[in-house]
Amino acid sequence: GDSVTQMEGPVTLSEEAFLTINCTYTATGYPSLFWYVQYPGEGLQLLLKATKADDKGSNKGFEATYRKETTSFHLEKGSVQVSDSAVYFCALKGGNFNKFYFGSGTKLNVKP
Amino acid sequence: EAQVTQNPRYLITVTGKKLTVTCSQNMNHEYMSWYRQDPGLGLRQIYYSMNVEVTDKGDVPEGYKVSRKEKRNFPLILESPSPNQTSLYFCASWSDWDRGHNEQFFGPGTRLTVL
């Protein structure tokens, strides 16, 4: 069945460091891929998405490229800020409109 | 403002006392879902609904009930809560236009503690 695997955290970085959070997926067909962010005490918010192979989703300096050949959707940011501290979830939606599959989440701590 | 609302935001209850967590969305979405979030496990789907009067089980439905009598509302019912249902619960909604490439919109969460 469909599934998402993302790197375990927590990830601790200094401000202005480069960020990569790995995400790989298993799916039949052509899924859509998403990154959601959860700030402390809040619900999940969409960060970016990509709906077909080689698409690049981007928002707020974050980027992720839909790589079908490696079944990956890694999240990157060139220079993180303290305000980026949050939990990041990789998610997949396949041909079945009913279900989203989420990774376990990666907590990011950014220190000044 | 487009949003998903949940109530209550925080709830402490005792084992066996029936409770309902409400969820409402104002975006006319066909799909709605309930998740629970537990440390190290990410989000796990409890139930989902494809439209009014159409619901189905997710990955962890035991001990929960849902109903979808109106398109905007999707309450989660715990008939006899137990301590292992202590968790953070999220409601979400989405639509199926744009060939299904749409994201989910999440409520703010309900922190439930069952003593």
String of DSSP letters for B19-86: EEEEEEESS--SEEEEEEEETTTEEEEEEEEEETTEEEE-S--TT-EE--SSTTB--EEESS--GGG-
Q: Which chain B residue lies closest to A9 (C-alpha atoms)?
A: B40
Burial B1-18 (b: 16+ CB within 10 A, else e): eeebebeeeebebeeeee
Return the closest-CA partner of residue A49 out of B37, B39, B94, B25. Answer: B94
> How far is residue A22's CA from residue A82's CA, in Å, rounded to a whole number?
20
Pairs of CB atoms within 8 A across A/B: 53
Q: Which of A97, A104, A106 to mutate to test the interface with B (most CBs of B within 10 A)?
A: A97
> How far is residue B109's CA from residue B43's CA, in Å, rounded to a whole number?
12
Residue B115 CB neighbours (<10 A):
10
Is A25 near chain B, with CB under 8 Å? no
Among the residue ranges A4-8, A84-88, B3-7, the one predicted with the least confidence is: A4-8
Q: Which of B101, B105, B110, B111 to mutate to test the interface with A (most CBs of A within 10 A)?
A: B101
pLDDT in tens, A6-65: 988 899 999 999 999 999 999 887 889 999 999 988 889 999 999 889 999 999 999 999
Residue A95's pLDDT is what? 67
Q: What is the DSSP letter of B11?
A: E
Among the residue ranges A32-36, A94-98, B27-31, B104-108, the one predicted with the least confidence is: A94-98
pLDDT in tens, A58-70: 999 999 999 999 9
Q: What is the least distance, in Å, from the CA of B75 to any CA of chain A?
A: 17
Please return the burial class of B50, using the count of CB atoms within 10 Å of its CB with bins 0-12, 13-18 and 19+.
Answer: middle
> How far is residue B77's CA from residue B106's CA, in Å, rounded to a whole number?
18
